[in-house]
Amino acid sequence: MSNAQSFDRVPVLMYHRVGTPHDVADGTYCITPGAFAAQMSALAAAGYAALTVDAFADWLDGAPTRCDGRPFVLSFDDGFAGVYEHAFPLLRELGWPATVFLVAGLVGDHDRWMQHPGATRPLTPLLSPAQIAEMAAAGFSFHSHSMTHRSLTALAGSALEDEIAGSRARLQALLGTAVDFFAYPYGHLDSQVVDATRAAGYRAAFSVQPGFNRRDIDRYRIRRLDVFGHDSPRTLLRKIGFGSNDGSLAAVCHYYWSRLTARRG
């Protein structure tokens, strides 16, 4: 059994859609159910165990935090219905919690932020309130990914406030629970966006910058590791082990070579 003194860093994995990719390009951020199951099995076999986002935040604040393995946080951006259909049953069997960042203004709708002029791929359904309620009852948590998935660095004033503070209010009314965490759409952030997120009352916010999280991390720039549809289980294990979005063997060799040459120098 692990405790707070036995680990000093926590990786956060970032997934998007679990399902069948619409096309080759969609395969970057869409992982098939079989590939997702293989990745989760590999993590479990390597001794990893998922923390709730609240336990992770408590750990960041210095609270004693227990974990039955090597800790990590599992997050899903956008709130696609495929998370309910394909990821939820497997994670429930493993007893692993996850956090889903919802686009508050599109719950029960589709990924309309992908509706560009000339786009040909079909829109993808998002989680319904009933699905969210079932997952929440089983230990999943739900937080904000803005109101409409706009790039926040392009906004100001009431438009920015609605995306950040407005999405929090709407989700709290829908969920009946606190919405304390935020994930920046597209990973776009600047000082104005961070200040608005803090002012809206969020406890912490998640970026797309890779790396590990230690207790001195900026609470409004939490790091996450991207998981791609083409990542094999071994690639994912290298990513989470080295805190990098590059899980290639070449990257691992470069890491160890850099350490060796640094010691010699």
Neighbouring-strand partners of residue 100:
76, 142
Q: Which residues of the chain have pLDDT under 50?
A: 1-5
pLDDT tens digit sequence for 139-188: 999 999 999 999 999 999 999 999 999 999 999 999 999 999 999 999 99
Q: pLDDT value at position 257?
A: 53
Q: Which of 191, 118, 182, 194 is nearest to 149 (CA)?
A: 182
Is the domain spanning 4-264 CATH 1.20.120.160? The answer is no
- Between CA 129 and CA 149 the distance in angstroms is 18
Helices 233-242/249-264 angle, 10° precision? 30
**96-99, long-range: CB < 8 A, 24+ apart:** 96/40, 96/49, 96/50, 97/50, 97/51, 97/52, 97/53, 97/139, 97/140, 97/141, 98/50, 98/74, 98/140, 98/141, 99/52, 99/53, 99/73, 99/74, 99/75, 99/140, 99/141, 99/142, 99/143, 99/181
Task: Say whether pTM exceeds 0.85.
Answer: yes
Q: pLDDT value at position 170?
A: 98
Domain ranges of the chain: 4-264
Give the largest Cα separation in the chain, rounded: 60
Neighbouring-strand partners of residue 143:
101
Q: pLDDT value at position 101?
A: 99
Q: pLDDT value at position 259?
A: 57
Residue 145 CB-half CA count within 13 A: 25
Q: pLDDT value at position 5?
A: 42
Element (H or E) spanning 77, and its range? strand 70-78
Q: pLDDT value at position 7?
A: 84
Where do we find the tokens 């994670």? 91
- Between CA 40 and CA 221 the distance in angstroms is 26
